[in-house]
Structure formats: C-alpha cells, structure tokens
Structure 1
C-alpha cells in the first residue's frame, strides 16, 4: 500500500456519520481537585508535564480489572490522566454467544466455540459430570440434551463437581450492567445441605470498607426450597434462588442488582462476568443431583452507543471518589488488520463491524476508513502493540531482528495506516524487547514517518501499575490536563515516556534554541545545535544519543541506520547538554536514559533535522512558528 493510494481512499462513512450526528458522544473528563496537588494540572514531581496512562482496559474488556481498581492505582502512583481504551467489539458484545444449549462439553454459537471445563473441590465419594442426550428442558426440545451433575461427599465437609464455561477469544467475559442470566434447571436430589449452584466471578476491586482486595463472587444456590435471600462474607456473596425439586424451573438472575444489594458502597455496574460455573455441592455424605439446560445471557435492547454512555456515567460517578485523576474516554478499535488502533479525542462513537462474528476484517481499506473517521472526528490514532498481543519469553536475538525487519517494512509500506502515534514503550511484547520496538520506530523515522512514540501498559488487571513488567507511562509537555491541550502535545511529539518506578526526571530536546521535541525543521546549515534536556537521572545511568539518517530508504531496507553516543549522567549537572549535530545530510535525533545495567528506562521523541521540505509538507503541530 502506498501513500498515494491512501490519499485517494475516501472515508464516506466518517463524513456520513458526522453529518448524521452519530459522533456526538465525546470524551467524558472528570474534574480534578486542587486539594490533591494538581493545581495546574501537572505532575507534582515533574513541573510542566502531565503523566498519562494511555492504554487501560477495565470491565468492558477481557481481564479482571474494574475501573475502580485502575483509578485506585492511578491515584496511588500519582498519574494525572487515564484514558479508558476498552475494545470496541467487547463494549458492544458484538457477536457474543448468548444462547448455550448445553448439548455437550463444546458448542459453537455464532461461529464462536464455547467450552465447559470440569472442576471439583473437596473429597468426593462419588460424582458424575455427563451430557445427557435423553433429558432436556421443554423450552429446548429443538436441541436435545442437558448437563447432568451429581456429587456425594466422602465426609461431613463440603465437596463439589462443576463445569466452568469459557469461549474463544474470551468473549464469555462481558459487563454485568443490565445483564440477565437465565438457565433452566431440574433439581432432582437437593436440600439446604446438598444443592445446585451457579457461580459468577466478577471483576477485581481494591480493598475497601474492611473487605480485602480481590474478585467479587456471587454464588446462586438452588436447593429446592422457596427461600429467597442474600448474604455476604467479605467479597463473596450468596443468593438463594427459589425453585421446585423434581421438575424443570427457569431461573433468572441479575448480577448487577444482587451486587448492589450485597455491597451498596460499590458501583455494581463496574463489573464483568469473568467466569460462570455450574455445580453440585454435597455435605454430610448427602448426594446432590440435577440437570442444567438452555443458558441465556441477555440485556434489554440498546443503542450502539449505549455502552459508551454507560461508561461515561460511571466515569462521572468515580470522579468524586478519585478527584486527583482526570479520566477520558478512548477506545481500542480492534477487529482490523494489521493491528488494533486506539482512538483518542472527542466525539467517540461505536464503529460499525464488517462481520457478524467477532472476527477481524482483513481488508486494509477497513483500517484506513476507521483512521480517516477518527481524524474527521478530531481525534488521534495510535498504532498499537506492533508485535502482537501475546507476551511470551523474549525470542533469540536473530529472531527478534527478523521480526523487527518484517514489522518495520510493513509499517513503512502502509505508512502506519495513517496513524499519528506508535506504541513503542513496551519492555517486552510479542517476544520482542524494548530495543527492537525502538528500532522499528527508527525505521519509520528514517522514512519520514513522523510518529509520536508513547509508553503504555495495556493493563487489564489494575493491581500493580508500577511493579508489573509493562509499566511504562507517557509524560506530555502540556499547559493543562484538558484534552484541548493534551491532543496537540501528542500530535506534535512533545512527549517522553518511561518506567515511572525508576525514572523520576524529565527528558526533552530543543533545536537551535527554538524547536522543541517532536518538531520537524528545515535548514541548509551543515551543523545544528540540539540541546538535550535531562534531569534527576538515576545514579549510574547514562544518556544514549540516537542519530539516524532520513534517506527515505523504503520498505526494502527495513534497518534503523542509527549511530549512538553515550553520555554520563554527570554531564547533565546543569540539566542539559548541548550537542552539535552534522546536518550535511538530513537526520533525526532522539535520546534514551539507560540504567546502570543498560536497561532503557526512558525515551524522548525525535526531532527531525531536514534539508528540504518533506513530501506533503511539515505536519501542522510539528512546524515551528
């Protein structure tokens, strides 16, 4: 795909959406309080900068995190701005399986494979987990079969058998807001001591109100009585559900409502159904036996943007609990190739999906159309996790080199699909270390792709922001935490990123006394001055200066073409160091802070020192006026 091809592709969908008002839902900022040390909207320990967690997933994505636990972490770690970037198709629950016929241990619904995995607890004298083709709910005669469970404990202590449901690509995990789970159940041998269960495991929350941190659970007990009650023990809730023994019953449960009743201090809608388990529990050697059939997961009809509106509502509520953190809605547009794209900016709207199933659209024009739509709505686009979403052990160096060459060639060929931002700051992702992320970025810079590099965590757990491996954040030189200031700063590249657990300083570049970090400047001078701004460097650390040619080598030469100079931390006693750069040929310059062991812990964005105007001109926010 060439740049000229991209220019002629139209985004009629974006223009139509704007004119129709579909993009009316904007980011929902949460006002911060000056009582928490953010009078000017800047990080307390880095004056003039705003710290940003730019890739965060909560209860609308796969993973255990709630919005609450992320906001708790952001507050504890002093992060100024948090962008919620839940996946678009997960927000929409697009193509999610909603009717499970219980006809076997695996079942395909809407081309998604649903699987039941057997579990047991305690000591069992006898048990059975069987898929019974001879017994079915009267409501499910079209698809015969049901799940038969039987458990008998070997002593007085409880023992159980169960099956836990899961779906391909974790599309069994979904928000509980407005959710109803309905299941047909035949309690055959049950009592208050031996019973059937349906257990819902929900999102992780921090310790609060004397309760420990952890994933809150709801266990629904079906014991053949008409008892309807709710009890709680810490973060475990128990709900007794009325049902008659010896016949089929349709049982409907509403996790959000039950969580509100059991824990009125939490925001119940801020939870995902992380796991659903059907079981039989026996005590005192008394058997528990029954059948389950026709599991349905539903919610009332809603508009395409309803999940975004609900998320915005939760953000406004949490703003009062966590006033030190400014929240903005973003979105990870995910069912595209070759990667996912984060949407930052105003006027968010749920994209349309090409396939009825939760599978990616392989047409590159689809990605380009989405990028154009985001730009038309006034937003910025991030090209996410260039080496994929997995996190295996680091690959051998030669394999990393080959992967970097392949990915860099693709980014150059496709011009990063027109993205503005490139996620660079991953200590490890897809088996690739941070150096190989930065090298691919350098290949883009060599080819005149002016991409703002950022550091992100892509965190789905919200439990240890600074201690986890992927813990990078991005600092913006911004007037405030307002989106109108943050977006131009990101667009201009006047940001740096790094590991906040070990780097507490600032980084910047200034060309010829006037052009800031991220700028693209043109001069016929044969040498130019680049001032490297760096302070509070860790003991034993060094600053590595990375210089590269801007020779537009193209995708057939996917090498960074860089050279390095190492400067000791002691050379920055005044907070800066002036560097004369040979500009007899066009170059780019960036810097890295490396710990005493050589690990990169902070990276600046580049400056481009050109001799001629680039094709297409200098981007507006990167031009020096």
Structure 2
C-alpha cells in the first residue's frame, strides 16, 4: 500500500447529490449543489465544468448492462457525458463462435473452448446429455447431443454454454440462431428449451427493473402457430415441431423481443447467457436430440458493428436528450486503451483474439488511433506491471504515446504513486477517474464510482477532447463530493499546463469549491528533477488547508519552484478520505526531454 488515505467508495449516493445544478438542488429543498460557484477564470473564458463517465460498457460488450440502464444512471447521477467504450473485437464479433457441432461437452476451435455444464431446476430426478453417433443432423456429420430427463413434477435439465472469453455474448441486435432438432419424446410441458438471459434495463411499462429472459420452448406441440407471450421480464416463444423428423429451427431473438415487449429497445440486449435443456412435467420422460447450432451475427461483423451499434444508440436520442453520449472503443488486443474522440475505425485484429502486452504492439495501436484523430486513454495500467515497472516503461517510452491514463480507480494508492512519479519526470499525461462499469445498475454504489470533470467550452466532442488534451481535468468520488477544482496563475487557468520560467517564486490561486465540513484541501507539490529510471518514485510533499480556511473555495499559495516543480490538488473529507484529485501544473526551468505539448504550454 502506498498511501493509507485512499478513496473509499462504500456509500450509496443520496438524493441531495443527484441534482445537476445548485438551482436544481434549491428547488428540491436539498442542500448540496454538484458544482459550486465557478472561478473567475472560467467565466472569463466561457469554460464550465462538464462531468463524464469515461469507461462504460453496454450491450455490445460482455457484461449485463444495456445502454438504456447506463443512460438512466447518468441522469440519476447528474453526469453530463458518457463515452461508450465497448471492446472493439466484441463490437465486430471478431472470432466469435459461429458453429457448435455437439461433439462433446468440450469443443475447441482455433484454440478457443466451448463447454457445456449440467445443472437441474425443479423436480428432475434423472437426466443427462449423451453424445451419440446416430441419430445426427443430415447436414452435420459426427455426433449429436441427446438430452433425456425424467422427474416427479415440473423441472428442467439444463446445459449452460460457455465460450472462451465469452466469445459468443454481446449484442443480439442482428443475430440469428439455427438449431437442428429431433423431437423423440415431447409433448405439452415436455419440450426442448433454448434460453437467452439478456441485458438489464430500468423499470419500464409497469415492469420492474431487471434482466430480460427469452425462452424458446420447442416441441410442446406438433403443429400450429408460433406463440409469443410475456410474464413480466420473462418472454416465451412456443414453437411446434413434428416428432421423429429432423427440423431446422431459426430464431431471431431481436424480432421476438420486439414482438413480446414493443416498448423496449429490443436491439439493446446482449446474448449474455445461453443454455439448452429439456423440460419435464410429471413422470413422463422427455427426450430430444439437438445438433448443428449456428450463430450468425449479421451486420455485427468487423467494421459493420460500428454502424450497427450507432443505430442501436440512436433509439435513445429522444428519451435521453439530456445525456450526451459518444461512441468510443476499448482496444483490447494490446494493453487496454480507450479511443476518445476522432473517427472510429476497426483495426486488423489477431486470430485468436488474445491480448498481447508487448509495449511495441501497444505503441503501434496508439499510433493507429492517433492517425484517426483519437486521444488514447491507457486503461487499468497496473494489470500488466508493478508500479515501479510501469513508471520505468513510461519514462523510457514517453508513456508509449498515450494521452490519458486511468488514475482515479483502484488501486488508488499505487496509481497515485505512479502518477506523481511520472509528473516528477515531466511526463504529460492527463489523469482521469473511471468506473469501468459493465452492469449499469447503481453507479453511485460501485467500488470504483469515479467520474471525471473537465473545464470545457461545451459538451461537444471536440471541446471535450481539447480539454482532456490540455489536462484541464479532475476526478471525484461523486457520493462524497462534486466540487470544482482549478489552478490559476495571474488570472489565467494553469490546470494541466506547463510553464517554462526563471521566476524564483509564483503565487497561484487554488480552487476546490464546496468541500465538506471538516474536510481539507491538500496541496501536493514535488520537484521536477527528472531522476529517470534510476529513481522511479514520487517525491511529493503536502500542505493541508482546512476547508474552513478557504474563501469562496479558494486559497492563494506561494510556489518556490527551485529547479522545477509541479503542484496539484487533492480534496479530503472529515474522515481524511480522498474524494477528489486534480491534474498538475508544472513550473519548469528548461524544456523537458520530450518537450511540452502545444495544448499544455502556458506562455508569459
């Protein structure tokens, strides 16, 4: 552990923290505005705080969240902007499983496993899957899976599918499934069942919030029309098939969900879980042979997935007009990188889609992203290195060219240590706070509930990119604090900037508005002495200013830069928990080894 006073996110957000403005809070009779009075520099330049969720996964990723539930959480938590950072290879269904041949409980294609795991539900007393040479589908040589079950009442014998790295899940927006079926012993309540557990949505149309489940029941009757019906969040599709004849059943889950729940954006669902089973009722056995499962992902095929996701998101333009959201990617075949801004493009991806942490490959991907106008955010950077190793890599390779780095997330203390060590070496990378949420059920109560603020001219994508590029950013624990942070020099915003000067001392104005009672502003300072890989560690000191000592959220502070220094801000509550942190302002004597990015240079 680097610092015992790391952020602790163990509380649920209260209603008073959920209003977007001071005026909204007053209207509701609540106490805490989200961002208090703006510094004079902000008003002078028409910049305002914009809050962002910078690492969010929806129904095109492997989790259970819909885009709808995240949009709802953004509204509840008064977050202005969402960046949709679904994994690029999942958006394009790259190397996702397209064939299951039922050769056994385990099948391997291109080194990637598919497995079936048995379970039972209800009054099943016996049953198993047998992989038989005969019968099998006339269109699929090899084995087939015969499911047989018996019981004393209602029950289901289940086999749940799992694919390596969940390479069949993700969006069902244009997916079609085919299954060849031979109904040997079936009847009412005694069917083959194919079940998809899909995405979580907020309450809608009199239905509770939760995950929507779609269950296909095949062979309960031998003729008649397909029947679709809903029981709350459970949807049923009853499909007749004749007995003792191979039948190919074609399933379009998006169409069935749309028919069952017309008020739901059916395309905003993932095929998160798939399982196959047979139902029993009473003592009569059920027996069905299944073969030749095919999954066609439709337009979710490489770059086509970009446009498909765009179409899904467009469904929410009216209902969530108050939440700005932008398409992005999490590039996942190298050290994970978020694509922020620019124009999305699908890179060439490896087969099988296995991550490679080679820094050269990461650097090549960053160059590809930059070529398409993106800022690059280095995600969860300690998943492939110790703090010391990471700092050394950043020093030796200039952060691999990345523009942003996830600092406000677990492990907070280690990432803060890395950030300050990098800043000591004049590495200009914008720290951001993230949640990396795949569920979307309660942003405030996440262990990583962090959001990032920037000083931006508007919520337009280019304005946000400009703010991030310049480092005008800070991150907060939104349950405990939603104030504004800033650093000014002679009336000019210096947050995220770097100044080369011969001045022996400078007076900076520091802003941290609305700190909680008993809290404090910690002024973090460090030499910028460029120790390099010989000493990959921070050298910070802290000056504590009690919240009660700030005037309108501000305090003037004298910086004596020596041979070079940086200053940044940290907010703490009365329990000494870190509740917000800013990016640095660098005061340098000379040009640093990698220069100063134009967006960060403060002149004069």
Structure 2-normalised TM-score? 0.90
Aligned partner of 1:102 in structure 2 is 102
User: Could you tell me how far 1:616 is from its partner in structure 2?
Assistant: 4.2
The answer on 1:618 being equivalent to 2:601 is no
Aligned partner of 2:247 in structure 1 is 249
Q: Are residues 327 and 378 of structure 1, via their aligned partners in 2, closer, same or farther at CA, if it must alter by over 3 Å?
A: same
CA contact (8 A) 2:34 2:483 kept: no
Aligned partner of 2:143 in structure 1 is 145
Aligned counterparts of 1:145 and 1:67: Cα–Cα separation in 2? 40
The answer on 1:445 being equivalent to 2:423 is yes
Aligned counterparts of 2:145 and 2:543: Cα–Cα separation in 1? 67
Alignment of 1:218-297 (within 5 A): 218-223=214-219, 224-227=221-224, 228-297=226-295
Aligned partner of 1:555 in structure 2 is 533
CA-atom RMSD in angstroms: 2.0
The answer on 1:418 being equivalent to 2:418 is no
Aligned partner of 1:387 in structure 2 is 382
Q: Could you report, residue by residue, the CA deviation over 1:565-602 in whole angstroms, capped at 9, with x for unpaired residues? A: 22211121331111112211211111111222222110
Aligned counterparts of 1:481 and 1:464: Cα–Cα separation in 2? 24
CA contact (8 A) 2:91 2:309 kept: no
The answer on 1:201 being equivalent to 2:197 is yes
CA contact (8 A) 1:61 1:174 kept: yes
The answer on 1:166 being equivalent to 2:162 is yes
Aligned partner of 1:536 in structure 2 is 514
CA contact (8 A) 1:440 1:560 kept: yes
Aligned counterparts of 2:517 and 2:118: Cα–Cα separation in 1? 53
Q: Could you report, residue by residue, the CA deviation over 1:127-172 in whole angstroms, capped at 9, with x for unpaired residues? A: 223333444222111xx222222222223xx111110101111212
User: Could you tell me how far 1:193 is from its partner in structure 2?
Assistant: 2.1
Aligned partner of 1:29 in structure 2 is none
Aligned counterparts of 2:564 and 2:157: Cα–Cα separation in 1? 68
Alignment of 1:43-442 (within 5 A): 45-46=35-36, 48-141=48-141, 144-155=142-153, 158-223=154-219, 224-227=221-224, 228-300=226-298, 304-336=302-334, 339-353=335-349, 355-388=350-383, 403-426=386-409, 428=410, 433-442=411-420
Aligned counterparts of 2:468 and 2:558: Cα–Cα separation in 1? 27
Q: Which moved more, 1:210-219 or 1:506-515?
A: 506-515
Matched position secondary structure for 1:315:
helix
CA contact (8 A) 1:515 1:521 kept: no
User: Could you tell me how far 1:404 is from its partner in structure 2?
Assistant: 1.8
Q: Could you report, residue by residue, the CA deviation over 1:526-562 in whole angstroms, capped at 9, with x for unpaired residues? A: 2222221011101222222211221222223221121
Q: Could you report, residue by residue, the CA deviation over 1:303-346 in whole angstroms, capped at 9, with x for unpaired residues? A: 6432111222222221101111011111111101xx11111112
Q: Are residues 540 and 131 of structure 1, via their aligned partners in 2, closer, same or farther at CA, if it must alter by over 3 Å?
A: farther
CA contact (8 A) 2:471 2:495 kept: yes
Aligned counterparts of 2:65 and 2:295: Cα–Cα separation in 1? 21
Matched position secondary structure for 2:534:
coil
Q: Could you report, residue by residue, the CA deviation over 1:507-526 in whole angstroms, capped at 9, with x for unpaired residues? A: 11123442420010011122
Q: Are residues 212 and 581 of structure 1, via their aligned partners in 2, closer, same or farther at CA, if it must alter by over 3 Å?
A: same
User: Could you tell me how far 1:352 is from its partner in structure 2?
Assistant: 1.5
CA contact (8 A) 2:435 2:451 kept: yes
Aligned counterparts of 1:555 and 1:114: Cα–Cα separation in 2? 45
Aligned counterparts of 1:115 and 1:356: Cα–Cα separation in 2? 20
Which ranges in structure 1 are unaligned for 5 or more consecutive residues?
A: 1-32, 38-42, 390-401
Which ranges in structure 2 are unaligned for 5 or more consecutive residues?
A: 1-19, 25-32, 39-47
Structure 1-normalised TM-score? 0.87
Q: 1:509 aligns with which of 466, 487, 497?
A: 487
Q: 1:581 aligns with which of 530, 534, 559?
A: 559
Moved segments of 4+, more than 6 Å: none
Aligned counterparts of 2:283 and 2:522: Cα–Cα separation in 1? 69
Matched position secondary structure for 2:464:
helix
> How many residues are paired up?
563
CA contact (8 A) 1:121 1:159 kept: yes
User: Could you tell me how far 1:126 is from its partner in structure 2?
Assistant: 2.3
Aligned counterparts of 1:467 and 1:324: Cα–Cα separation in 2? 23
Aligned counterparts of 1:553 and 1:135: Cα–Cα separation in 2? 72
User: Could you tell me how far 1:458 is from its partner in structure 2?
Assistant: 0.6
Matched position secondary structure for 1:139:
coil
User: Could you tell me how far 1:216 is from its partner in structure 2?
Assistant: 0.6
Q: Could you report, residue by residue, the CA deviation over 1:351-377 in whole angstroms, capped at 9, with x for unpaired residues? A: 111x22111245533322321222222
CA contact (8 A) 2:34 2:482 kept: no
Q: Are residues 599 and 619 of structure 1, via their aligned partners in 2, closer, same or farther at CA, if it must alter by over 3 Å?
A: same
CA contact (8 A) 2:527 2:563 kept: yes
Aligned counterparts of 1:449 and 1:226: Cα–Cα separation in 2? 70
Matched position secondary structure for 1:443:
helix
CA contact (8 A) 1:345 1:380 kept: yes
Aligned counterparts of 1:591 and 1:199: Cα–Cα separation in 2? 51
CA contact (8 A) 1:586 1:610 kept: yes
Aligned counterparts of 1:183 and 1:312: Cα–Cα separation in 2? 30
The answer on 1:487 being equivalent to 2:465 is yes
